[in-house]
Structure 1
Amino acid sequence: MNILITGGTGFVGSHLTKELTAKDHHVYILTRSPDKHNDTERVSHIGYDDQEISNLPPIQGVVNLAGDSLFGYWTRKKKETLLSSRINTTQKLIDMIQKMDRKPDVFISGSAVGFYGTSEDLIYTERTTEPGKDFLAKVAVDWEKAASQAEQMGIRTIYTRFGVILGNEGALPYMKLPVKLFAGGKIGNGQQWLSWVHIYDVVQLIQFCLFNDHISGPVNVTAPHPKRNKDFTKILADALNRPYWLPTPAPLIRTIIGEMSMLITKGQFVLPKKVLDSNYQFTYPNLRAALEETERTKA
């Protein structure tokens, strides 16, 4: 299969590319700077210009993972970039697909559990259609709306709503830092839910969506057992052989990092009902095993 990926050199994209090429698929990574990357037998880096796009072979699958990192102080400019980087890349992909004589069979576009908003007591599944009202929910809603143009072209379209991805990149190194510095403890009241997923299962779930024709629409890419912040941090401290004792007041977090603090002080309980109903078997359904694995495989 020929698969086109945006964000192919990022955290999730690089893991996905490695897995796909190991299974003899050819990956075409769409990037603004193709000359900065080395092609291999099964990986080609291409730019956004029409000439390179016209030279592509028929593409069976598209995976859209591009978007500016959520980490950083959310100034007005940063928030504009968070939104525009996702919408603009998705629109460019849609424009490319419209020009293809043969349309892809499947279009997978990134999204996030932020779609649902935050709650300490509600349970969200793919059947939840009412989005949240905060900034992250708006980003997810607009991102999915842009991607839905593929669906209108008759392409099987999937919106992968990622939870907090655990691996040696992404959010986990930041979450580990206070624990490693012997300052680990709950954030605020510790009751906020964290819907997490191991990077290995993320890659397997994307492939599950790619190759299972009955999967479409929103798909929650989260492990089946979310944890409250207080429990997540306790298990993390145990995995790192560090104490769990120093709670951090939520107002202090908000003072230090501003609106981005909602990633830490708020959360949502999200279940991956669609893939569970489709008999996907998680390799890391439990948090302790997932964290221990990231420690074993860190560079």
Structure 2
Amino acid sequence: MTHVLVTGGTGLIGRPLVDALLARGDRVTLLTRDVDRAVALFHGRVEAIHWEELDQTRAAYAAVVNLAGESLSAGRWTSERKARIMGSRVQTTRALIRAIAQFEQKPRVLVNASAIGYYDTSETATFTERDVCLPDNFLAQVVRAWEDEASRAREAFVRVVFARFGVVLSLEGGALPSLLKPYQLGIGGTVGSGRQWLSWIHIGDVVGMLLLAIDQTGLSGPLNVTAPAPVRMREMGKTIALALQKPHWLPAPSFALRALLGEMATLVLDGQRVLPTVAQTHGYAFLYTNLQNALGDFVRTKDTRKAP
């Protein structure tokens, strides 16, 4: 049994990860600002400590998974929101690293959330973990600051993995419900030029790759958490239409989205073709390598939920 400390354990990725850890017999402690809610969410199967108690904890954690951070898509990127997005990642990671340095028994690994925003946006290039990119945009600034802070755990001889998430597909939140909605209303169509790449990943494979990062002692540094077959946005739309048996006809032009979303429009209008080379090298077996199969799983799940 492995004792795992998880931040962001009640979020989109944290919830299924915690369920998976518990299912395989691991002991899980959530680091949270609402202890009662966290324990209740998992029906008392987890322990929980408040962030203010972190420096006093004497527990020994074999692994730490840091998923804390404010949502990127919760509203326009005003100066205030940008500060919260950056601070929620850098400051919480800094506090976590400070606590790890004081632990009498250091964890074997820190798996720290990151994002493929590390890479340049491009319609022609392909990126793997070997690529070093320094794009000058807000997302890249956040990712670099986040990873730089997490890398300080190496000073305590802790193995560090940067889980660079692509576009996580889940019915519980994230991008997928927003992508599905226009098609469910019968007004779906190509977003922007349609040529931009979407490096997607099914939530089941997100969990599987995080478990890989925890367990594989030879895995460190960047880990692209993406499916091996990215698609262009036009193909994503057509695949959604096929899965839902809805038309694909009404485009959402780039200028309109930029006017509506401001700088946040980069999340849907710019993209990268990012491949999970490290996961494949370490023998990870994907549950969903094909977008049509992944979306089919979500459609079946929705139909099951509707069934009496």
TM-score scaled by length of structure 2: 0.94
Structure 2 counterpart of 1:212: 216
CA contact (8 A) 1:62 1:104 kept: yes
Measure the CA separation in 2 of the matches of 1:56 and 1:288. Answer: 47
CA contact (8 A) 2:58 2:104 kept: no
Structure 2 counterpart of 1:13: 14
Instruction: State which of 166, 172, 175 in structure 1 corresponds to 2:179.
Output: 175
Deviations 1:208-238 (A, max 9, x none): 1100101000000000000000001100111
Where does structure 2 lack aligned partners over 5 or more consecutive residues? none
Instruction: State which of 244, 250, 255 in structure 1 corresponds to 2:248.
Output: 244
| 1:86 partnered with 2:89 | yes
Structure 2 letter corresponding to 1:183: I
| 1:139 partnered with 2:145 | no
Structure 2 letter corresponding to 1:197: I
Structure 1 counterpart of 2:132: 129
Q: Secondary structure in 2 aligned to 1:63?
A: strand
Measure the CA separation in 2 of the matches of 1:2 and 1:208. Answer: 15
Map 1:1-299; keep pairs closer than 5 Å: 1-38=2-39, 42-50=45-53, 54-71=56-73, 72-168=75-171, 169-298=173-302, 299=305
Q: Give 1:41 shift.
A: 5.6
Where does structure 1 lack aligned partners over 5 or more consecutive residues? none
Deviations 1:21-54 (A, max 9, x none): 011101111001213333656411110224x653
Measure the CA separation in 2 of the matches of 1:107 and 1:222. Answer: 20
Q: Give 1:207 shift.
A: 0.2
Farther off after superposition, 129-138 or 61-70: 129-138
Q: Secondary structure in 2 aligned to 1:49?
A: helix
CA contact (8 A) 2:119 2:134 kept: yes
Identical aligned residues as a percent: 42
Measure the CA separation in 2 of the matches of 1:216 and 1:42. Answer: 30
Query: Aligned in 2, Cα 1:120/1:66: closer, same or farther, shift over 3 Å?
Result: same
Structure 1 letter corresponding to 2:68: A
Q: Give 1:56 shift.
A: 4.2
CA contact (8 A) 1:219 1:274 kept: yes
Query: Aligned pair count?
Result: 298
Measure the CA separation in 1 of the matches of 2:183 and 2:120. Answer: 27
Deviations 1:184-209 (A, max 9, x none): 11112210000000000000000011
Farther off after superposition, 37-46 or 116-125: 37-46
Q: Secondary structure in 1 aligned to 2:161?
A: strand
